[in-house]
Amino acid sequence: MSATITARGYTVPSLTESGTLPAGVTFTDNGNGTATIKGTPAPGSGGRYPVTLTAANQLGTTGEAYVVKVDEPPAITSQHSAAATIGDRFSFLITTTGYPAPKITETGVLPAGISLGSGGLTGTPKRGTSGTYPITIAAASTAGTVTQNFTLTVS
């Protein structure tokens, strides 16, 4: 990412930044009334970073608030399989990373009694559902989509 900030005034104002930029991104006052925010955000640094840019010279100071937004593609970080027992309560948390937070969906057939909710797979497998259930889990946001093959074994 790279952005140039320009301030005008006589004498040429100096530029400063306060707040926290994402890891891997720096702010540099170029000494000519411009400054540069640039760099490659480090992995795992997706999010919103509020900063204030300030221009100052002998006549005064002015500042403006900005938000640096770093999108990070989603990733599914939970295991690729789980086991459930007929008649026992089952819960499997599907964990993800990325910014903005991805929405989780699944395709395939789940056993009767198990469903995908806001936190993952939950429910109680019903009688007659023993077997292996291959499904595909997807995590999607405006930063991208990722899928993971997942197997639920019911006994």
How large is the average pLDDT for residues 46-64?
96
Read off the pTM: 0.80
How do 2-6 and 34-39 pair as beta strands? Answer: antiparallel
- Which amino acid is located at 99 in the chain? Y
Cα–Cα distance, 96 to 65 (Å, whole number) = 30
Note the pLDDT of residue 58.
94
Average pLDDT, the chain: 96
Superfamily of domain 74-154: Immunoglobulins (2.60.40.10)
In this predicted structure, the answer to whether residue 118 has a pLDDT above a threshold of 90 is no
| Per-residue pLDDT tens over the stretch 70-93 | 999 999 999 999 999 999 999 999
pLDDT classification of 150: cutoffs 50, 70, 90: very high
Mean pLDDT value of segment 100-121? 95
